[in-house]
Amino acid sequence: MANIAEQRIRREFKEVVKSDEVAACNIKVELVNDTYTHLRGEIMGPPDTPYEGGRFQLEIKIPETYPFNPPLVKFLTKIWHPNISSVTGAICLDILKDQWAAAMTLRTVLLSLQALLAAAEPDDPQDAVVAQQYKEHPEIFRRTALHWTSVFAKGPKKDKELEDKVASLINMGFEEHQARVALSTNQWDLTRAAEYCLS
Amino acid sequence: MSEALSSRKAPNQCETLAVKLRLPVTMAQPPSLDTSFGQTSSPNVSLSAYEMSSGSDGSYPFTGKVVGYDYEFVPPVDGRYECTICFGVLREPRQTPCGHRFCRDCILKWLRQPQHRCPVDNEHLSDSMLFPDNFAKREIDNFTAKCPNSKQGCDVIETVKRMPSHLKECPLAFVPCPNNCASVLIRRDLADHMHEHCQNRLVHCPDCGQQGKAADFEEHVQSCPHGKVKCEHCGEEVARREIERHRKDFCQKTNIPCMFQALGCEVQVQRDQLDKHIRESLTPHLSMLCQGMVAIMQRIGINRLSTEGVPLSARELTPTEISGFMSSLVQPLQQLSLETRQPQGAPGDSRSLDSSSVVKTSVSMHRSPSDPKYSMLISSGTQEASGFSHTSGASDYGVKMAPASLVGPVSGVESESLKSLHHDEMLVRHKQSLLELQAKTETLERNLKQKMKQYDQQISELEGKMCNGQYYWRIRNYSRYQREAEHGQTTALHSHPFYTSPYGYKLCIRANLNGVDSAKGSHLSLFIHFMQGENDDLLEWPFNGRIVLSVKDQNECCELRNHVAETLSSKPNLAAFQRPTTPRNHKGFGYMEFLPLNVLRNSSYIRNDTLIIKAHVLPNG
């Protein structure tokens, strides 16, 4: 790893570890290997959002050219959000692309992601299906996001009705995640979800 | 001013001017100095002077990979002195118009990305908008930090400014073994490693005195020709290269065949037992000798030897028998002629002619068989012949007996010898002409070399004339010259002469690669010397004008090139600018401290072992 990248990450790591946000359990960074090229981040779902109380794991890869180029970040925890792919976890956020600035740090990136969870940008979507639902059926979106948070991010609030629908689709012989995606995509309409699964 | 300058005269009578423009401290010298050196106060020069001082911390190669100071500062440094790109403490701080500070290399690297924005607040930003924050730099230079080798136990606390010089000597720093053995050691242990443990250290073989790597020593000991080995027969210790000869000729315990082997004795005994064997086997050996002798006599047709040593049977020799002998002598004679010819093979051997003359005389003797020396000639031919001459006696009896019949077989010998004589003569002649040709080519080669040298000189002279006062001097083999300068062998190098214009002044550059006087060992010194030229009568004296001296940065990356240029103005009262009275004016004019040597070494001023110095001479009017 280039001299400058390693020195940066070493210092940033110290910074995040002793920051106030870590103290408040809002964000967290761990080393995956000893070379500071691969890190594991975690952010807490922001309050007053469907993600509240969830813990979202992030994969952070530091390029050789860091900090002149942004870190490569994606969600490891599955999440229902217009700017995050529900399939791959890829994130659409300007500061991780062309708006990156060398003065930004892991800490600011994680805080920006937290902010993204609180304020989605449906007009610049990563996941078109989610974005459409966000715009057209905000209530269904909220419940879906909450459901995904409880299932994948250990969120505290459970939605009994949605869980039952997933269960009934599973009973019809479909695989659990396939069933959940089908229902989420089809505004929790059982019939259409079943057709979606079969198509 | 001039008194101050003349007090700096170098021992070699050079008017050396130590112009410490390069250090920020002396940048604040009185304005009189600035005016006396022309453009020294121009922004360009002041920037380059600034860059120089930055390089003088000795740890700043322009690689683009250097980041802020990563020391453990005591007391800890305030966050505002940190570069927000590398998070180290600012190295060569640069400030933006929007008020943010970064390390020079960090921000330049950032601005090489497509976006031209401040990394902190996204304000528009470009290279030219950056300016050095020397206030912060001075503060940072005085911050104290623990030596990075504190983990190894170094408890030195040093200022940022002085840290590089401490690190160069820190006994607890990790250093790679200079013998390239791939070991990395603490400097304190280096001497011990290099003398005792390094695989690549040179060791002397105590047997042969040869030098070699320690790693190869074991192997060498096993094969050193001078190493002692034990003879497996007698136990004596003999040098390895002598052992074969020892076994063959000296070892008392090696089995050797009896000297009568050729006569049929098949006994093999240890060398020290041979005498005993000879003594004990007298009788069998004698009988072998006898049998052998008889066999030989039969072979040559002698039945019995007379008591006087004159062969009784000789009288009975018939002409045909004699011719038979003679033909059996042909072979040894041929051999003889071959042997005499051999020394001719050695080139340039003056004896070759003599030996051919020997053949000639021998042939002439053949031609006169009545010559009393005839039998002697034959006797000198071979062993067999001597046997013959003996049996025929020293008299010319045998020859007289049948001179006519001798002619036949001898003529065979003669023609052979004649042939070889002919060959010899040819050889001598060829040799002669070869030598002549060689001498001729050598003369031609010498002339050619002289001409080439002459042309080279003319070309470089012409080049110097056509350069119009802008002369680039490439010092190739820089490291060799630098070494020679360090050892005091050649302290000063002079460039080829050049002219300010085809009808202008003739000058040359002098470089003291290891510095002179007070700059010795620390700086590169550069001077301009005026030379006697063809146009001196046409020109105005003293010289009046400006001279720009520069050292070219040869960094591959054009943006990172930091040429160092200094302008000096002529001073009419200095001897350096008067009309030269010697081929090259002893007095020069220039900078004793042009460029610190550590900067020169740690940067791209030297590429492919070549340093490029440029002189641009601009006469006024």
The DSSP result for B4-60, as a single string, is HHHTT--TTS------GGGSHHHHTS-HHHHHHTGGGGSHHHHHHHHHHHHHTTS--
Q: Rounded distance, CA B445 to CA B588, Å?
A: 39
Same-domain status, B130 and B73:
yes
pLDDT(A3) > 60: yes
Whether a cis peptide bond, with omega within 30° of 0, leads into B372 is: no
Give me the pLDDT at residue B443, please. 92
Which run of H or of E encompasses B235?
none
C-alpha span between A165 and A173 (Å, rounded):
13
- The residue count for chain B: 621
| Whether residue B18 sits in one domain with residue B128 | no
Residue B379 phi, psi dihedral angles, 5° rounding: -65, -35
List CB contacts of B618: < 8 A, sequence separation 6 or more.
B469, B500, B545, B546, B547, B548
Interface test with B, best of A8, A69, A95 (most B CBs within 10 A): A8
Interface test with B, best of A1, A3, A4, A95 (most B CBs within 10 A): A4
User: Where in the sequence is the domain holding B589, given as residue range(s)?
Assistant: 13-23+465-619
Query: In sequence order, which ranges of B368-467 are alpha helices (DSSP H)?
Result: 374-381, 383-392, 397-401, 403-466
H helix intervals, chain A: 3-17, 20-23, 106-118, 128-136, 138-152, 160-171, 176-185, 190-198
Task: Please state, as a whole number, how many other Cβ atoms lie within 10 Å of the Cβ of residue B143.
Answer: 20
Minimal-distance CA residue of chain A relative to B86: A8
The upper half-sphere exposure of residue B213, i.e. CA atoms within 13 Å in the direction of its Cβ, equals: 9
For the domain that residue B152 is a member of, what is the CATH number? 3.30.40.10
Residues in A whose CB is inside 8 Å of some CB of B read 2-4, 7-8, 11-12, 67-69, 98-99, 101-104
> Residue B161: its pLDDT value, please?
92
Say if CB B391 and CB B308 are below 8 A apart. no
Residues 6+ apart with CB under 8 A from B163: B71, B145, B147
d(CA B482, CA A114): 61
> Does residue B165 lie within any of the structural domains?
yes
Q: Give one DSSP letter per residue of B468-486, joined into a string.
A: TTEEEEEE-SHHHHHHHHH
H helices of B467-593, where?
A: 478-486
pLDDT band, residue A91 (cuts 50/70/90): very high
Residue B474 lies in a domain: yes
The nearest alpha carbon in chain A to B83 belongs to: A103
Both tokens assigned to B615: 């002189």
Picking from B509, B491, B524, B476, the residue whose alpha carbon sits closest to that of residue B55 is B524
From chain B, the residues in CB contact with A7 under 8 A are 67-68, 70, 86-88
ipTM of the complex model:
0.79
**Catalytic residue from among A92, A120, A146, A194:** A92
- Phi/psi at A130 (5° precision): -65, -40
The Cα B51–Cα B68 span in angstroms is 16
In chain A, which residues have their Cβ closer than 8 Å to the Cβ of B65?
A: 2-4
* Contact yes or no for B38/B568 (Cβ under 8 A): yes
Q: How far apart are the first and last CA of chain B?
A: 26
Residues of chain B short of pLDDT 70, as ranges, are 1-66, 306-415, 621
d(C-alpha B364, C-alpha B453), whole Å: 56
Chosen domain end from B172, B187, B206: B172
pLDDT score of B426: 87
| Residue A25 is among the residues annotated as catalytic for this protein | no
Q: Judging by beta carbons within 10 Å of its beta carbon (0-12, 13-18, 19+), is residue B309 exposed, middle or buried?
A: exposed
- Is the domain of B601 the same as that of B543? yes
In a domain, B303, yes or no: no
Q: Torsions phi, psi of B553, nearest 5?
A: -85, 125
Q: In this predicted structure, what is the pLDDT of residue A81?
A: 94
End position of a domain, from candidates B107, B140, B172: B172
Boundary-marking domain end, from B117, B152, B172: B172
d(CA A47, CA B474): 70
Contact A8 B86 (CB under 8 A): yes
Instruction: Tell me the pTM.
Output: 0.46
In a domain, B246, yes or no: no
Same domain, B605 and B492: yes
Residue owning tokens 């966050």:
B79
* Claim to verify: residue B76 and residue B144 sit in the same structural domain: yes
The answer to whether residue B575 sits within a structural domain is: yes
B17 and B117 share one domain: no
**Residues on chain A touching B110 (C-beta within 8 angstroms):** 68, 102
Whether B508 maps to a domain, the answer reads yes
Among the listed residues B508, B447, B506, B451, the one whose alpha carbon sits nearest the alpha carbon of residue B475 = B508
How far is Cα of residue B33 from the mean position of the Cα atoms in its chain? Answer: 47
Same domain, B19 and B115: no
Q: What is the DSSP letter of B444?
A: H
Residues of B whose CB is below 8 A from A70: none
Distance CA B224, CA B76 (A): 62
B319 backbone dihedrals φ, ψ, rounded to 5°: -55, -40
Residues of A with Cβ-Cβ distance to B59 under 8 angstroms: none
B147 and B94 co-located in one domain = yes
Closest CA to B374 of B384, B383, B362: B362
The DSSP bridge pattern shows strands B498-499 and B228-230 to be: unpaired
pLDDT per residue over B153-200, tens digit each? 889 999 999 998 998 888 888 888 888 888 888 888 888 888 888 888
The CB-side HSE value for B475 (13 A sphere, CA atoms) comes to: 24
Q: Hey, what are B81's tokens?
A: 């002195």
**From the CA of A84, how many Å to the nearest CA of chain B?**
25
Q: Are residues B611 and B494 in the same domain?
A: yes
Residues B79 and B18 in one domain: no
Same domain, B18 and B58: no
Q: Indicate if the alpha-carbon torsion angle B214, B217, B219, B225 is positive or negative.
A: positive
Q: Is residue B213 part of a domain?
A: no
Total domains, chain B: 2
B87 falls within a domain: yes
CATH number, domain containing residue B522? 2.60.210.10
Q: Name the minimum distance, in Å, from the CA of A190 to any CA of chain B.
A: 49
Tens digits of per-residue pLDDT, A120-168?
988 888 998 999 999 999 999 999 999 999 999 988 888 888 889 999 9
Tokens of A154: 């250990």
Question: Does A24 score more than 60 pLDDT?
Answer: yes
Domain shared by B607 and B480, yes or no: yes
